[in-house]
Structure 1
Amino acid sequence: MNIKALFSAASVFFLLSFSASTSAQSLYQDLGELEGIDQLNERFVINLVEDRRISHHFEQTDLARLHQMLTEQFCELAGGPCVYSGDDMVTSHTGLNITRSDFNALVEALQLAMDDQGIAIGAQNRLLALLAPMHHEVVNR
Structure 2
Amino acid sequence: MKTLFERLGGSEGISKIVDGVVEAHMNNPSINVRFFPYMETPEKLSEIKRHTVEFFSAGSGGPVEYKGRDMPTAHRGMNITHAEYMHAIDDIFQVLDKHQIDQSAKAEVLSILWSLKDMIIAR
TM exceeding 0.5: yes
Q: Which residue of 2 aligns with 1:107?
A: 89
Q: Which residue of 1 aligns with 2:74?
A: 92
Q: CA deviation at 1:60?
A: 2.6
Alignment of 1:1-20 (within 5 A): none
| Alpha-carbon separation, structure 2, partners of 1:70 and 1:118 | 20
- The one-character-per-residue Cα deviations of 1:95-124 (angstroms, maximum 9, x if unpaired) are 111000000000001001101111111101
Q: TM-score, normalised by structure 2?
A: 0.90
User: Is 1:58 matched with 2:31?
Assistant: no
RMSD: 1.2
Q: TM-score, normalised by structure 1?
A: 0.79
Q: Which residue of 2 aligns with 1:75?
A: 57
Q: Which residue of 2 aligns with 1:31?
A: 8
Rg (Cα) greater in structure: 1
| Alpha-carbon separation, structure 1, partners of 2:67 and 2:32 | 24
1:135 to 107, 110, 117: 117
Q: CA deviation at 1:45?
A: 0.8
Work out the percentage of aligned pairs sharing the same amino acid.
26
Return the letter of the residue paired with 2:122. N
Q: CA deviation at 1:91?
A: 0.9
| Alpha-carbon separation, structure 1, partners of 2:6 and 2:51 | 19
- The one-character-per-residue Cα deviations of 1:79-99 (angstroms, maximum 9, x if unpaired) are 001111111111111111100
Using CA pairs under 8 Å that are at least 6 residues apart, name the structure with larger relative contact order, 1 or 2: 2
Paired residues in the alignment total 118
1:43 to 16, 20, 24: 20
| Alpha-carbon separation, structure 1, partners of 2:79 and 2:112 | 23
